A and B are shown apart, each in its own frame.
Chain A
């Protein structure tokens, strides 16, 4: 295992490298207000981050990542375009795997730039790939924006699309919803009774959820029951899209084929093509680069476009050595009315040293 001082030295070198690329060095505080992170990620973050508190400031979290504070800082009046780099500890609660570190050094690079998203994606990926040169790692890329476009283009009600969009990052729940909206899942008896107007209660209404809200939900369910199921062909297309897992040239040809039947994804696929060109311009061998349409969906992160990860080839036990992606929606959520396209990535110098030690 590398020592902490070796890891810190490597982290400083990586940060210097990004600084030389024009990034501004930032140093957000370790303690972050819990309310921001809870708003963004929901209750799941409590299983991943350490929470502490005091009587004055209330609940705070030991930063589980740098992205949120960096975005907040930028949205409060950063220059535009902007590039940032940082290095420091992050803290992740581990409740199921004693071998996973709960505190480690992370180095990151974040780009806020409206001009050319494909170029910004390629810039982040290529710089990080450069720092990993020579290490036995394998890159996987994906694009959550393609799946989102496919969902938005479904021929069905807005309510169903909203429900599916809300669960893009929960693959199992997403699949269950899709099955239900396609009329392939059995309707629970209680739901049938409710729709038939047979559900009654003599119980008094308690709590904050009002009678109006209950009525509105019943009306929404009735509307949904009256709407035709999503056509089987459309569900198959979404599933075919999620199965795409090839090197970039083959993946793109699959995506172009799918776009013939799903014209709604054409723009997003054009974005993948533009990114391929931008990656090539940065010297990335895209012929060997893997593209997985469902990559990045199971992470808690807020990625909604390009996603990537680097994993150690012979060490499936190790977490990703580096990872990142595009998070335009997060800048909107934290921007209080404003938004800016943003993409970034993080590296773990400790794991890089560990892999070098084995080589």
Chain B
């Protein structure tokens, strides 16, 4: 049996991950046609590559079907309850930087902190008859953050894409989303609250605490991590 390493199956995240492993003498490559999600690992025996969506990697690590996986901190924290009992961060890979932030229209000159947001939410509810809507796909992280910040009278609305556009489209009053540069926020006339950083995220190598291992696999995993870290 082999150590299963899960890596995002496409785009920059995959390329950067291949580079990071390559710089440490482990070659990850895709095999077969361009469209086939098959891969191989060279430079070490007993490790196999699994290409899958970055969003599914937390679940597979938690289920113990992957021993190692590369995905963002944001996805692990959002998708896994008690994440630190399920997976262990082995290394931050230095790319895929993204912050989960809370943003409101720049025209709201009276709102700069969570405290302001809470007060604005109270009067918004009184004026409009429903709670202030915050569009996000990170429901758990945002709810925990707002709860600890003491914000009430808001409702989360699900937005799986183009979240920055929801305010102009009047389907939400504020948003919580991943941003890397802030340009999309500015282009959509939004600003980040000064205490609105929910999470710093970057691509991270995780080890599953749940995956069963044979003695041979344990040896392989040790050899691999010795070379990587």
Residues of chain B within 8 A of A100, CB atoms compared: none
A42 to B110, CA, bound (A): 24
- Residue B119, interface by CB 8 Å: yes
B113→A188 contact, CB < 8 A: yes
Which one of B27-35, B52-60, B100-108 contacts A?
A: B100-108
Residues of chain A within 8 A of B140, CB atoms compared: 47, 95
Residues of chain B within 8 A of A172, CB atoms compared: 150
Residues of chain A within 8 A of B1, CB atoms compared: none
A181 to chain B, nearest CB (A): 12
Enumerate A186-235 residues with CB–CB distance to B below 8 Å.
188, 190-191, 194, 199-201, 203-209, 211, 213-214, 216-218, 221
A217→B110 contact, CB < 8 A: yes
- Residue A318, interface by CB 8 Å: no
- Residue B81, interface by CB 8 Å: yes
Residues of chain B within 8 A of A207, CB atoms compared: 105, 167-168, 170, 172-173
A200 to B108, CA, bound (A): 10
A140 to B17, CA, bound (A): 56
A220 to chain B, nearest CB (A): 8
A43→B155 contact, CB < 8 A: yes
Residues of chain A within 8 A of B82, CB atoms compared: 95-96, 98
Closest residue of A by beta carbon distance from B153:
A42
Residues of chain A within 8 A of B222, CB atoms compared: none
B170→A208 contact, CB < 8 A: yes
Closest residue of A by beta carbon distance from B128:
A208
A44→B106 contact, CB < 8 A: no
Enumerate B111-142 residues with CB–CB distance to A below 8 Å.
111-113, 115-116, 118-120, 122-124, 127-128, 131-132, 139-140
A301 to B143, CA, bound (A): 18
Which one of A7-15, A162-170, A262-270, A289-297 contacts B?
A: A162-170
Residues of chain A within 8 A of B155, CB atoms compared: 38, 42-43
**The residue from A96, A167, A213 contacting B150, defined by CB atoms under 8 A apart:** A167
- Residue A176, interface by CB 8 Å: yes
A172 to B105, CA, bound (A): 28
A44→B131 contact, CB < 8 A: no
B123→A217 contact, CB < 8 A: yes
Closest residue of A by beta carbon distance from B122:
A166
Q: Residues 233-255 of chain A: 1 if any B CB is under 8 Å from the residue's CB, otherwise 0? A: 00000000000000000000000
Question: Would A194 and B110 be within 8 Å (CB), given that A46-B139, A209-B120, A213-B127 are in contact?
Answer: yes
B109→A43 contact, CB < 8 A: no
A217→B120 contact, CB < 8 A: yes
- Residue B194, interface by CB 8 Å: yes
B189→A204 contact, CB < 8 A: yes
A96→B81 contact, CB < 8 A: yes
A179 to chain B, nearest CB (A): 12
B107→A205 contact, CB < 8 A: yes
B81→A95 contact, CB < 8 A: yes
A345 to B7, CA, bound (A): 52
A209→B189 contact, CB < 8 A: no
- Residue A282, interface by CB 8 Å: no
A47 to B154, CA, bound (A): 14
A218 to B124, CA, bound (A): 14
- Residue B50, interface by CB 8 Å: no
Other A-B pairs, 11, CB within 8 Å; known A46-B143, A176-B150, A206-B167? A43-B143, A43-B155, A44-B147, A166-B122, A194-B110, A203-B107, A206-B188, A209-B173, A213-B124, A214-B107, A216-B123
Q: Which residues of B are at the interface with A, using a C-beta cutoff of 8 A?
A: 81-82, 105-113, 115-116, 118-120, 122-124, 127-128, 131-132, 139-140, 143-144, 146-147, 150, 152-156, 167-168, 170, 172-173, 188-189, 191, 194
Of all A-B residue pairs in the complex, the 3 with the closest CB atoms, nearest first, are A173-B150, A203-B106, A190-B112
17 A-B interface contacts by CB (under 8 A): A43-B143, A43-B146, A95-B81, A96-B82, A167-B152, A170-B150, A188-B113, A188-B194, A190-B113, A205-B107, A206-B167, A207-B170, A207-B173, A208-B170, A209-B108, A217-B120, A218-B110
